[in-house]
Structure formats: C-alpha cells, structure tokens
Amino acid sequence: MQVTVENVSELGRRMTVTVEDANIDQVVQERLKSIRPTVKMSGFRPGKVPMKMVEQSHGATTRRDVIDNLVQSSMQEAFTQEEINPAGPPHIEAMKEEDSSLVYTMVYDVFPDVKEIKLDDINIEKTVAEVQDDDVDGMLDTLREQRMTWEPLKRAAKESDGVTIDFVGSIDGDEFDGGTGTDTLVVIGAGNMLPEFENQLIGTKSGQELTITMTFPDDYRAEHLRGKEASFDITVKSVAKKKLPKLDKDFAQLCGVDDGIAALKKEVRANMTRELSTAVKAQNKRKVMEGLTANNEVTLPDAPVEREAEFLMEQAKTNLRNQGVNVEGIPFDVNNFKDNAKQRVALSLLIGKIISDNGITPDEARVKEVIDGIASSYEDPEDVVKFYMNDQQKLSEIQMMVVEDAVVEWIYDRVKVEEKSSTFSEVMNSAAA
C-alpha cells in the first residue's frame, strides 16, 4: 500500500492511498458465489439461480460493500502507518480503480501541534475560605426553617404569616385557567404569588371572605393574562405563624444525630467544610484553566469543536429534563454552545501537552484519598470504595481528576498567585451561579 500526504491548510491534510493488488473483481465474484445459495428468485429453487442473474440483482450492492470494507481497512492502516490521529472523520474526495489497484484521496483535519506552554503573563487570584461559627449558626437556622411547623393564630395576618385560602379568579366575570385554588398556603412576602395578590391578604383573619382585584404584569409567564385586570373571591381558611423547633436534643435527633446539639454542630461543620473545600477547589481550578487558555492561543479544527458543542447541548437538555422541564418546544441552537466548546477543546490540548511533557501520572495514594473522601459521605463507605475500585470507568474518571489537580499545582508553581479571602456564602453562591 502506498500513502502520500500533503498539507492543504494549517490543519487540513490530503491523503492519497493506493491499495495494490486489491483484486476487487475477484473478491466480488467470491462474495456473490458465497451468497448464491441464499438468493431467492421466482422460478428457481434455492441455490439454483444462475450466477449471471445473481450478478444482475446483487452485483452493484456487493461491489459497494467490498469497496467500502477495503477503504475502511486500508484507511485505518494508512493512519497507523503515518502515525496520524485525524481530528474528525475523513471525507473521500476522489476514488478510482486502476487495473487491480484501488486509488482514493481523502481530506481531513489534524489536531494542532502545541509547541510550548506559555505561562509568563498569567496572574491567578486564588480563593481561600474557612467555615466560621456564624456560618454554622446560619446553617442550623436553615435546618430549623426546613423543619418548622405552622401555629394557628386568632389575630389578623401580617408579613411572613401563612394564610391558607380558597380562591376563584375571574376576568370580566369569566373564570380563567389557573385562577382557582383550594387550601392554598400563601406565605405573605415569600413571593410564591404575585406581590399585589399577597399584600392584599395582610390584615385578613380566619373565616373572612373578601374580593381582591389586581392587574397581571405585562411580562407575566401566561401570555393570555398579561396586562389584564382580575378579581379573586377569597375565603380565608386559617392564619398561622412559623414555629421553629428549639435547638435542643430533640432537634438534633430530628436531624439524625443522637448525641445532642454539640454533636450536630460538629457534623454540620464537617459537612460544610467538605462542601466548601470542593467548591473552592473547583473555583480555583476554573481560574487556572481560564488563565491557561487565555495565555495560549490554539488553532482548532472544526470537527472536535462541533462534537463538543453537540455534547454540551445534549447535556443542557438532559439537565433541564432532570428538572422536569419539557425541552421539546425549546429552540436549541448548537451555535450557542460553540464558544464553550472551543474553550474545552483548547483546554484539553493544552492539558495534554503539560501531561505528556512532564510525565504526569495519577498518584495512587491521592486517587485512594479522593475515593475515600467521596465514600465518607455515604452510609457504607467500604461498599462505595469497592464500587469505584472495581469499575474501570469510574476509577479512570477519578484518576483523570487527580491528574488535572496535579496539572493545576504544576501551573501554580510557575505563575504569580495572589490569595484572596472569601466567605462560605460567597463561595457557595458563586458555585450555585
């Protein structure tokens, strides 16, 4: 087999492959003979169809299959021989048969050859943060909110109270879809209903009946209601205030801790510290990677960027589906994911260069440490550890994570780093955003 390669652009290549002694006619005849016993044709018994008629009915398809198989096998051999890793599927530009040989030309893109990693102009702001006592107290307050109950009141409702109502809404005397509710809890000021609706419940009492009017905003989610004035006939079923549980042993047990509030605080702090550590690490890694790509311009082939953009788009759809959103009517455009895809493809090439140049491999002790950290948040840590160690794909993901951490440390050692103190809330809000 003869192979020639020429450059047609910075990343574009044209390869001509000559498969000598292809003997396509001979292979086609052998293939037709092999399928003849299975060919069915009216007027002939199985296996007795004349070869000429087999050629007429199956010859063209068989020839295409023979040539396709020959191209695929020789193409892979040619790439291996020339030590080429194409960036995407090649496109066959021309093909012809010459005597017993097959000659075809294909064009494809290659990945860029990253010559060096430039770090001179990179300045990185490294976030540092610790869980403070106030953070723990705030989390305990959140836990109390999650476990609060409602205490019925005889007085009139005010801000933050919960008012349970039945209501029937109408526009110009006609009820409208979504305008009715039974035993609906409205927490005044919480924003679950429109403010104009909630505010008119201030001052109401249990058993009271009233009618309120309001105008839907021009940007209201339901188009048919935008800008329209509606009236609501309301029956107040009850008025109640929040009752938060006391921070005592019973509350600790309610949270799954049997050894009292001190033990609960200790566990809450440990969980928050673990969450904060993960978020800080992710935030700092993102800053390092952004600095790396910003300082190292890479010319990218189209194919891997297209693939990555498609992947990101499908990932976005999956995330929305997991949140219960119907994505069928959403006009997704793969072009909206191109910038992020380019960043990710460029980053993978730069990281690969750092890894190969410096012989960075996953430190097994660090891999075990990461897996143990993941397992520690589960009820049966040993089972989780066994799961990761026995699943090659999951283990590979952890190993790659450890390698990327090593790359981040390698970059930290070679750039200007300035530490910036942050709070638990700031870091977690940034992570959520």
Residue 54 and residue 12 in one domain: yes
Residue 231 and residue 278 in one domain: no
Asked if 154 and 242 touch (Cβ cutoff 8 Å), the reply is no
Residue 145 is given by DSSP the state H
Entry pTM? 0.73
Beta strand 416-421 pairing with 123-128: parallel
Asked if 48 and 126 touch (Cβ cutoff 8 Å), the reply is no
- For residue 117, is it within any domain? no
CA distance linking residue 186 with residue 184, whole number of Å: 6
Give residue 194's domain range.
149-243
Residue with tokens 């300082």: 295
- For residue 255, is it within any domain? no
Helix axes 24-35, 51-82, angle to 10 degrees: 130
Residue 156, domain CATH: 3.10.50.40
pLDDT at residue number 147: 92
pLDDT at residue number 253: 93
pLDDT at residue number 324: 87
- For residue 314, is it within any domain? yes
Residue 284 and residue 231 in one domain: no
- For residue 116, is it within any domain? no
pLDDT at residue number 21: 86
Q: pLDDT per position in the chain (433 positions), as tens?
A: 899 999 999 999 999 999 998 888 899 999 999 988 888 888 888 778 888 898 888 999 999 999 999 999 999 999 999 999 999 999 999 999 988 899 999 999 999 999 999 998 899 999 999 999 999 999 999 999 999 999 999 999 999 999 999 999 999 999 998 899 999 999 999 999 999 999 999 999 999 999 999 999 999 988 889 999 999 999 999 999 999 999 999 999 999 999 999 999 999 999 999 999 999 999 999 999 999 999 999 999 999 999 999 999 999 999 999 988 888 878 899 999 999 999 999 999 999 999 999 999 999 999 999 999 889 878 899 999 999 999 999 999 999 999 999 999 999 999 999 999 999 999 999 988 7
pLDDT at residue number 143: 95
- Beta-bridged to residue 97, according to DSSP, are 102
Residue 66 and residue 94 in one domain: yes
Residue 265 and residue 409 in one domain: yes
Residue 157 and residue 27 in one domain: no
Residue 97 three-state SS = strand
CA distance linking residue 20 with residue 18, whole number of Å: 6
- For residue 248, is it within any domain? no
User: Residue 328 phi/psi, 5° resolution?
Assistant: -60, -35
Residue 236 and residue 289 in one domain: no
Residue 268 and residue 409 in one domain: yes
* DSSP assignment string, 303-327: HHHHHHHHHHHHHHHHHHHHTT---
CA distance linking residue 388 with residue 371, whole number of Å: 7
Residue 89, domain CATH: 3.30.70.1050
CA distance linking residue 350 with residue 404, whole number of Å: 11
Beta strand 149-152 pairing with 209-215: unpaired
Residue 206 and residue 302 in one domain: no
- For residue 253, is it within any domain? no
Residue 224 is given by DSSP the state G
- Beta-bridged to residue 180, according to DSSP, are 168
Picking from 208, 243, 278, the residue at the C-terminal end of a domain is 243
CA distance linking residue 126 with residue 143, whole number of Å: 31
- Beta-bridged to residue 128, according to DSSP, are 421
Residue 85 three-state SS = coil
- Nearest Cα neighbor of 175 from 106, 120, 225 is 225
- For residue 20, is it within any domain? yes
Domain tally, the chain = 3
CA distance linking residue 400 with residue 403, whole number of Å: 5
